[in-house]
Structure 1
């Protein structure tokens, strides 16, 4: 099983793919900044649940079937586009509201709780964690490129004479999720570090604005992808 995988080439490639900023990694960064390291990491479990389901589908042969279906690809693609537009627009609106609302009341750049932060503070931790994990799950599950990543990327690291590929694919999928988890920890830790440094409201708005624009850009890129 382990000998059926080219591990020496897999890990550098997986690290490069996982470390590249994407919608989920931006969510980890933003969640770390707004809520801290622990909530951001618990939220990422939603992403890895989606990834685990994809890996099982690929090992069972369903990934190739879905990847070959233009209808399924387009349905998943446009669901992903719609959700990224909604989430990016909501994040961008949060950044813009900070300018006209309570920023003036707090004197410009001095750190102060935002409306969103005050609402979150009033919610039970379990409710907030569930909402953040749900966001991560939907972003990951509604991206058809993630499924194709597992369908096309993972098999490249199987040895050519492998007979039973299901178990090696599961091992590769588990290894990739572990690499992605480490990268998610890095993004969440960076956000948490910025939070602990007490960055100004303006800096937080800039990060929210960048995240929102990036998500809208990812939505636009995904909408132009062809099967």
Structure 2
């Protein structure tokens, strides 16, 4: 892959990944509640789903979702329902005062945070279409496809991972400010509203 093509891809992905969305919002929310160390399972869930989405898009699922209104709608509405459910759950979460340290015991086992991250990342069908449309823009059809896909996937992974840790770290820094139950209550409501809004907005997206 030419260096100038790769650098253009890096810039594109840097700003795409930085844009707040359900994944980054979850990293921020769990960073606030659990600190960075206990948010790692959440991030692993997000990144595992991301890997599956990229692999599925490379295998043609992204093209299928782009071509089939029914398949796209099934994934879309399933994801929307889950995000709205997560929003309601976050809104209703009790404003239990947070330990300002990074080692406070999280609620529930690590696998539950992993599952939440995985489901949130898998809930957006636009991600499949996005990768199916993004990768070909930076690939040369005359060259072997597998090495190019590997470079694009690894680059995206590194940038996405860095941003997720940045969001989780930013949330962890808010733990001191959220030592007040009143502030935490409003933060829960703001995060719950954001998740719910993301779910509602997802119902409005189209394959195009």
Q: TM-score, structure 2 length as denominator?
A: 0.88
Q: Distance in 2 between matches of 1:80 and 1:5?
A: 36
Q: Distance in 2 between matches of 1:122 and 1:27?
A: 15
Q: Offset at 1:175? A: 1.2
- Please tell me whether Structure 1 or Structure 2 has the larger radius of gyration of its CA atoms: 1
Q: Offset at 1:150? A: 0.8
SS at match of 1:25: helix
Asked if the contact 1:5–1:158 (Cα under 8 Å) also holds between the matched residues in 2, the reply is: no
Q: Distance in 2 between matches of 1:4 and 1:57?
A: 26
Match of 1:54 in 2: 53
Asked if the contact 1:4–1:158 (Cα under 8 Å) also holds between the matched residues in 2, the reply is: no
Asked if the contact 2:98–2:178 (Cα under 8 Å) also holds between the matched residues in 1, the reply is: no
Could you tell me which runs of 5 or more consecutive residues in structure 2 were left unpaired when the two chains were aligned.
none
Superposition CA RMSD, Å: 2.3
Match of 1:140 in 2: 121
Matches within 5 A, 1:68-83: 68-83=67-82
Q: Does residue 151 in structure 1 map to residue 150 in structure 2?
A: no
CA deviation string 1:52-93 (max 9, x = no partner):
111112222332123322211111101101100100011112
Matches within 5 A, 1:195-206: 195-196=175-176, 199-206=179-186
Comparing 196-205 and 213-222, the one that deviates more: 196-205
CA deviation string 1:196-224 (max 9, x = no partner):
55642222222211111111111111101
Matches within 5 A, 1:115-194: 121=105, 128-159=109-140, 161-194=141-174
Q: Distance in 2 between matches of 1:80 and 1:55?
A: 17
Could you tell me which runs of 5 or more consecutive residues in structure 1 were left unpaired when the two chains were aligned.
103-111, 115-119
Asked if the contact 1:5–1:168 (Cα under 8 Å) also holds between the matched residues in 2, the reply is: no
Match of 1:105 in 2: none
Q: Distance in 1 between matches of 2:164 and 2:67?
A: 30
Change (3 A) 1:21 1:183: same
